[in-house]
Structure 1
Amino acid sequence: MPLRRYAGPAGPVQELFHRLHRLHRYAGEPSMRAIADSTHRTLSHTAVHMALTGTRGVPTWPILHAIVQALGGDAEEFRTLWVRARDHEDGDAPSAPEPSIQPTHPLVATPRRRSPPQIAEYIDETGHDPAKMNSTTLHASRQEIVGYILNSHPRRVPEILKSLPGTLAGLVLNSLPADLVRRLALSGDRELADLLISTLNTRKSAHILGSLPPLLATDVVARVPSHDAAQMLAAVDPELAAQILADLRPDAAKAEVLRHVPPESLLIIFSRAHLRQKLQIMPALVQNPDRLSFVVIKCRPPTLRVLLDAMPMADFTELLSVEMEADSRRRLAQIVSPSRMAMTLADMPVTSAALLLSVVPMHDRQLILKQLPDRARIRLASLVRVTQRARIRHDYEDGPGSHLPEPSG
């Protein structure tokens, strides 16, 4: 649809909007939403409309540049028109310097060349007084603060960020370009890293996490609340999430994070983990019986069999002793190799061993019993028969799947 004609006085500003409107027409007069979509939603349709109609005067160059690119215009031509318009709007002041971040961050909103005096006073004169910055935010938008910091003081970004009050720092950080935040995270400044992780929203934190070296990513996850860490792990690449979980220490912290990871996400992460990583994750998984049961039921049998055979005997025995769903326990008992099961049963209380052995297929059960000493084999076989009769009677009376009490030894 046609744009509303710019109603300002004749001059460079009017010329800019006149050329901008002609560009819009030559592009087929796309809607504001269509233009916003062409900027990959970096700009909202409202911001596009205000920039094209001059609702708030001459737009900033990054915004105008994004719109010109979306419409297929000549960036250099419009850059020249924009400089003249800004000079005219500012009373023939010297032209604005080329934004230092423009090549890397062309769509970051920057303030007018005469930045709000409160921001300039705060950054340049007050020595980063947080109290002053709180009052400053009453007179300057977050985008203006972000733009001023990036445009005027790119090398002082870490220093400025660390001086901001927590809430404001979070707002500013979540408005910074992702590649800049990554560079800040990799700077080696622990105080800044803590600030980044504690204030970034989860979606952006996960994006940043995915670009960090695994050791640093693990350190980041270890220092955030377990619920936030779980959300990050569910959002990053499963292979990175598996490596982070495997390296996370101590196991209690790992178990707490696992408790908050959605089951479907955990299954994907676990499936993509290498065998060594699975072995490192299992002790924490054992501390979460509901998550353990889900993984055991959903995991592919060949993958699960290799894992069970590779587990240290103590860990495997502990795994079989966990109070988990009956279907999960049955699946474990049926998948594990007879030799591993025989060694495990030899170290278990005989009544618990009988319960476990009673769900093993008959052929495997015979192979397992043959590997036990005669006395243990006879007693265990007898208890298995008792257990199976009790299970049949129990299923008939109470229904299958309900809890079966241990047989008396």
Structure 2
Amino acid sequence: MPVPHPPADTERGTMASAASQPPPGPAPARLKYRIELLHRQAGEPSYRVIAQRTGTAISHATAGKVLRCETPPARGPLELWVEALGGDREEFRALWVAVRDEVSPLVLPKPHAWEGEPEEPLSAVMEHQQPLSTGDLSIPELDTAEEDLHERATERSRREGETRKELLRALGTRADLSDHLARLHEQLGHERGRNEELSRQVR
């Protein structure tokens, strides 16, 4: 007796559901897969389109870095990127945390490391601390710092551009007012001349 096959729509739904699930493996690979899948499901928009959908909260260069996912993206740009493509922020937030836990796990010191030791004053602790240098940062942290600097520079440039436009508008308004005032002075001179002519005629 032939075995009935499920409808084609059911098969497609099952395949789509399976494709939406991250494959097993390292957390960075799962995050990269979900990012690429969301981008494809959204119609593969360009980096500039994605940046525009965020209201230029991120640049097109940052949008490209998130999609390539060569290094774990910063959480802020990732969530903006996901929101621009209609993805689930909570899902990607959980993936991001999993990546951070895998790439840079938090390690608690053993209890005996601090038991029985006198508490050191905060001022003394600060004196012993060395200033943080770029050599103390991992590659993902350096990438995140670079992205933050790029975003700040972009925002600063945008504000400078807006200020420049406002200044030009103000200068243009001032020039228009000066021209209008000059025309008024000219009209006033003509009126005075006419009044003087009328006064002479009356006399």
2:185 is aligned, of 317, 323, 332, to 332
Shift in Å at residue 71 of structure 1? 0.4
**Residue in structure 2 matched with residue 63 of structure 1 by the alignment:** 77
| Inter-partner Cα distance in structure 2 for 1:68 and 1:142 | 19
Instruction: Give 1:76 deviation, angstroms.
Output: 1.0
Find the counterpart in structure 2 of residue 34 from structure 1: 49
Measure, in 2, the Cα distance between the counterparts of 1:61 and 1:67: 10
Q: Where does 1:155-170 land on structure 2 (aligned, <5 Å)?
A: none
Task: Give the direction of change, closer, same or farther, for the CA distance of 1:72–1:142 in structure 2 (3 Å limit).
Answer: closer
Residues 1:363 and 1:125: Cα distance change in structure 2 (over 3 Å): same
1:12 and 1:85 in contact (8 A); partners too: yes
RMSD: 4.6
1:175 partner SS: helix
The alignment's TM-score, normalised by the length of structure 2, stands at: 0.56
Does the aligned pair in 2 maintain the 1:206–1:235 contact within 8 Å?
no
Q: 2:28 — aligned with what? A: 13
Deviations 1:91-136 (A, max 9, x none): x327xxxxxxxxxxxxxxxxxxxxxxxxxxxxx957xxxxx79xx5
Contact 2:72 2:99 in 1 (8 A): yes
Structure 2: segments with no counterpart, 5+ residues: 1-23, 108-124
Larger RCO: 1 or 2 (CA < 8 Å, sep 6+) = 2
TM-score for both structures, normalised by structure 1: 0.31
Separation in 2 of the partners of 1:85 and 1:176? 28
Percentage of pairs with the same residue:
27
Instruction: Check conservation: 1:202, 1:232, Cα contact below 8 A.
Output: no
1:33 and 1:146 mapped to 2: Cα distance?
16
Q: Which runs of 5 or more structure 1 residues have no equivalent in the other structure?
A: 1-8, 95-123, 127-131, 148-170, 179-199, 208-230, 239-261, 271-294, 305-327, 336-356, 371-377, 379-409
- Provide the C-alpha distance between the structure 2 equivalents of 1:175 and 1:60, rounded to a whole number of angstroms: 14
Change (3 A) 1:86 1:138: closer
Q: CA deviation at 1:63?
A: 0.9
State the secondary structure of the residue aligned to 1:72.
Answer: coil
- Amino acid in the other structure paired with 2:94: T
Query: Partner of 2:196 in structure 1?
Result: 365
The equivalent position to 1:234 in structure 2, one of 163, 167, 174, is 167
Q: Indicate if the aligned counterparts of 2:74 and 2:144 stay in contact, CA closer than 8 A.
A: no
Matched, 1:78 2:55: no
Query: What is the CA deviation profile of residues 363-409 of structure 1, one whole-angstrom value per residue up to 9, with x for unaligned ones?
Result: 33335779xxxxxxx9xxxxxxxxxxxxxxxxxxxxxxxxxxxxxxx
